[in-house]
């Protein structure tokens, strides 16, 4: 099984900060990775697909990069509505499809 | 507009059974593989099961294999998860999500296994 190691598990940041979240895959997954945002009591929402493609309707302050084993989600200027938990998901080798452990972005 | 609406969750005793449903609309359901993902209270996301568009391929997480059965009815645009021999650790919100790449998710249905 492919393990996805996401870091950090949580972070505190201020509005306007640049935020970076990382996912590392235990083996190469090409660019078969998505990033998801989840707010309390809500379903996950896809932000990024194919590692770096922005989902339609998602603000351009969100970006993704990486290929192979290391991937990054960047929020260029954190907004109040961005405080949430973020997950990566690999869909290269399955089953199982595997998620990162999540990163909770909190207000500093 | 793509919509996925889960139903069927509730409170069930350990060892009991429950059947979840996911009603799909806004896309050609029969063309897409579908998935179940769950999230235990305060925990992360865990893939549970997947089924291909024609039900030819079915997969389960080790944690539910032999207890859960995924199925679909393309004529009714519906996805199902039959859950038997439920355990306390199956307590979670269960989401259905569309393939490829889990682009759309339902709002989830809560399953609580407790005596």
Nearest to B103 among A46, A87, A101 (CB): A46
Q: What is the per-residue pLDDT for A107?
A: 86
pLDDT tens by residue, B75-110:
999 999 999 999 999 999 999 999 978 999 999 999
CB pairs under 8 A between A and B: 56
Residue B43 and residue B30: Cα distance in Å, rounded?
32
In chain B, the residue whose alpha carbon lies closest to the alpha carbon of A6 is B44
Q: Helix, strand or coil for residue B73? A: strand
Beta-carbon contacts of B52 under 8 Å, excluding residues fewer than 6 positions away, are B33, B58
Extract the tokens encoding B109: 């249905």
Average pLDDT, chain B: 97
Q: What is the per-residue pLDDT for A108?
A: 85
CA distance B14 to chain A (A): 25
Give the strand pairing for B34-39 and B18-25.
unpaired
**Does B105 contact A99 at a Cβ distance shorter than 8 Å?**
no
CA distance B110 to chain A (A): 11
Q: What is the per-residue pLDDT for B100?
A: 78
Vertex A86 angle, CA A83 and A90, to 5°: 165
**Does A102 contact B44 at a Cβ distance shorter than 8 Å?**
yes
B1 touches chain A (CB under 8 A): no
Burial A84-104 (b: 16+ CB within 10 A, else e): bbbbbbbbebeebbbbbbbbe
In chain B, the residue whose alpha carbon lies closest to the alpha carbon of A54 is B103
Which segment of A84-88, A93-97, B47-51 scores lowest on mean pLDDT? A93-97
Distance of alpha carbon B32 from the chain centroid: 15
Mean pLDDT over A69-88 rounds to 97
Terminus-to-terminus CA distance in chain B, angstroms? 40
B46 touches chain A (CB under 8 A): yes
Residue A86 has pLDDT above 90, yes or no: yes
pLDDT tens by residue, A2-60:
999 999 999 999 999 999 999 999 999 999 999 999 999 999 999 999 999 999 999 99
Residue B74 has pLDDT above 90, yes or no: yes
Q: Is B66 exposed, middle or buried (0-12, 13-18, 19+ CB in 10 A)?
A: exposed
Neighbours of B36 (CB within 10 A): 27
Residue B47 and residue B59: Cα distance in Å, rounded?
10
pLDDT tens by residue, A37-51:
999 999 999 999 999
B 55-114 residues with CB < 8 A to A: 59-62, 95, 100-108
């Amino acid at each position: 099984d492919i393990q996805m190691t996401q870091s950090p598990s949580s972070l505190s940041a201020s509005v306007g900060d640049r935020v970076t979240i990382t996912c590392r895959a235990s083996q190469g997954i090409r660019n078969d990775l998505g990033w998801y945002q989840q707010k309390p009591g809500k379903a996950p929402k896809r932000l990024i697909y194919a590692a770096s493609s922005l989902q339609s309707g998602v603000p351009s302050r969100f970006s993704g990069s990486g290929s192979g084993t290391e991937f990054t989600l960047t929020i260029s200027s954190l907004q109040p509505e961005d405080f949430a938990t973020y997950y990566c998901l690999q869909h290269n080798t399955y089953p199982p499809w595997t998620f990162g452990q999540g990163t909770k972005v909190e207000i500093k | 507009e793509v919509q996925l609406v889960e139903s069927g969750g509730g409170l069930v005793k350990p060892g009991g059974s429950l059947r979840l449903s996911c009603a799909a609309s806004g896309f050609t359901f029969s063309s897409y593989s579908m998935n179940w993902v769950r999230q235990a209270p305060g925990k992360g996301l865990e893939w549970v099961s997947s089924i291909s568009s024609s039900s030819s391929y079915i997969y389960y997480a080790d944690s539910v294999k032999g207890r859960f059965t995924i199925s679909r009815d393309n004529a009714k645009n519906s996805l199902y998860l039959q859950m038997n021999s439920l355990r306390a650790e199956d307590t979670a919100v269960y989401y259905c999500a569309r393939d490829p790449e889990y682009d759309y998710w339902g709002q989830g249905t809560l399953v609580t296994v407790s005596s």
